[in-house]
Every structure is written in structure tokens, then in C-alpha cells.
């Protein structure tokens, strides 16, 4: 078995793989101050609940975009699992090449998403990862990661609007019944959520026009299911895409 950890800015996902198949997965809040023992306190009861022992793991693969967490996470793996950690980075052996100006700046999550796309999607492909930030990753037919787009996530937009205004409240990320808002809350929800969907549709259209071909498009991330049904562009929802991409990179390097 392989333990895969995807450490994002807001949430951390934990996946257990057996024979390259994801069999269990869980989520926790990401905390930069989480101690080695706190990682153990969260994960061990979940493993015990499904009957998995610590000796079952052949290794640990980590995808992190929060560097302050890396030291304690690495120590957790050494102390409690007795394993060295494999971290996703631009220096890994990959089944694709990186066609951007500064490869060292490409996030580990975007590398994992690209690894999944090369293995499992029809190229050219675009992976849209809806998390704290929303990223668009473009992979061409010749297996080259060409870069993409980064924009603020939905929650970030809602929080920013609330913080920077005196009277506008922080609203839940729920679609209103109509585009025309009838109160302050529904007006904000309409602007953020419908506006966000139109932004995704518009950017996907621009990307495909620039590529010059229709792409297979996959959505992943915590709010992908919320957004998917409101998009005009044809997309697939693959909620565990990043975890599976990390597993692929681990196999390619071990």
C-alpha cells in the first residue's frame, strides 16, 4: 500500500492506494502549525477504522504547496511510519516535459495534475483545479506541460469582497435561484458564482482557441461538483485527480 498526502492551502487530502487503486481517502484542515503528533492523532484512528496497520505501507508520497508544513510532515513519516517521504517537485522523473520559463516555480499540485492528464486523458487536455486558488493546466499532444492560468478561488473572492467593504456580508457559496438578486446576499452570490462560471467558460474558450484544438477538460478540487453543472463547456469531474497524479509520479520515480 501507498499513503499519498496532498497538502493544499486550505485542506489536506490523504489517500490510501493498493495496486495503484485509491481505496480510502480523507480530508483535514491545513494548519501550518500542526505538529508531528497531531498528524498521527488525525490519521491513525482513520486507518485503524478500516483495518490498515502502519506496516502495510511501502512508502509515502507527498504533494505540498505549503512549505512551512513540510518539515513536520516529513518527521511524521519518519517517526510514526518509519518511511522516507517522496515529495513531488520539478526535479522528479516525469512522463512529460515542462515548457515554461521557470520550471522551479511550477506548483507540485500542477505537476501531479499534469501527470494524471498525460496518463488518463485524451491530449491536448486542460485540468481545472478549483481550490483556494483556481488553476488551469494545459498539456499538449506531445506531452508538454505548457503552463496555464491562476485566478483567485471562489471563497477568496467572497472573503475579499466582505473584508474590503463596510456593509457587504460574507455569504455562503450557494447558487441563488436567479441571476437577478433580490437581496444583498443573493446579489453577491450571483455575482461571485455565476460570474465565476462565466469566467471559467470564457478562459477555457480562450485557451482552446490559442491551442487551436478542442481539449478534453477535467475539473477537480473541493468545489468542482458545485460548479460543474452550471458550466456551458463540456467537462468531466474527477475529484481525486491530484491524489492519483501524485501516485503516478511516485511510481515513475520508484
Respond yes or no: is residue 37 known to be catalytic. no
CA dihedral (117, 120, 126, 128) positive or negative: negative
Catalytic residue among 37, 84, 109, 198: 109
Alpha carbons 187 and 216: distance in angstroms, whole number: 33
Alpha carbons 63 and 71: distance in angstroms, whole number: 13
Q: DSSP character for 2?
A: E
| Contacts within 8 Å (CB) and 24+ apart, 64-70 | 64/5, 64/7, 64/88, 64/108, 65/7, 65/8, 65/9, 65/107, 65/108, 65/109, 66/7, 66/8, 66/9, 66/30, 66/32, 68/32, 69/7, 69/30, 69/31, 69/32, 69/34, 70/7
- Which residue has cell 510532515? 73
The neighbouring-strand residues paired with 220 are: 129
Residues recognised as catalytic: 109
Amino acid at each position: 500500500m501507498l499513503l499519498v498526502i496532498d497538502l493544499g492551502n486550505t485542506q489536506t487530502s490523504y489517500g490510501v492506494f493498493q495496486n495503484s487503486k485509491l481505496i480510502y481517502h480523507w480530508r483535514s484542515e491545513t494548519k501550518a502549525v500542526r505538529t508531528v503528533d497531531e498528524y498521527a492523532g488525525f490519521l491513525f484512528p482513520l486507518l485503524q477504522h478500516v483495518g490498515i496497520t502502519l506496516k502495510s505501507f511501502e512508502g509515502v508520497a507527498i504533494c505540498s504547496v505549503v512549505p512551512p508544513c513540510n518539515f513536520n510532515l516529513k518527521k511524521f513519516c519518519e517517526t510514526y511510519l518509519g518511511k522516507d517521504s517522496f515529495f513531488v517537485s520539478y526535479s522528479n522523473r516525469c512522463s512529460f516535459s515542462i515548457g515554461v520559463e521557470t520550471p522551479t516555480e511550477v506548483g507540485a499540485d500542477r505537476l501531479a495534475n499534469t501527470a494524471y492528464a498525460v496518463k488518463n486523458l485524451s491530449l491536448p487536455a486542460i485540468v481545472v483545479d478549483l481550490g483556494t486558488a483556481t488553476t488551469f493546466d494545459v498539456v499538449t499532444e506531445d506531452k508538454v506541460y505548457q503552463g496555464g492560468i491562476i485566478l483567485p478561488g471562489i471563497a477568496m473572492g467572497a472573503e475579499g469582497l466582505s473584508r474590503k467593504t463596510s456593509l457587504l456580508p460574507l455569504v455562503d457559496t450557494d447558487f441563488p435561484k436567479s441571476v437577478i438578486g433580490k437581496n444583498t446576499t443573493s446579489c453577491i452570490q450571483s455575482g461571485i458564482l455565476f460570474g465565476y462560471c462565466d469566467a471559467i467558460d470564457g478562459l477555457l474558450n480562450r485557451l482552446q482557441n490559442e491551442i487551436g484544438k478542442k481539449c478534453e477538460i477535467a475539473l477537480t478540487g473541493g468545489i468542482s461538483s458545485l460548479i460543474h453543472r452550471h458550466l456551458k463547456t463540456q467537462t468531466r469531474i474527477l475529484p481525486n485527480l491530484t491524489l492519483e497524479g501524485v501516485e503516478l509520479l511516485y511510481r515513475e520515480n520508484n
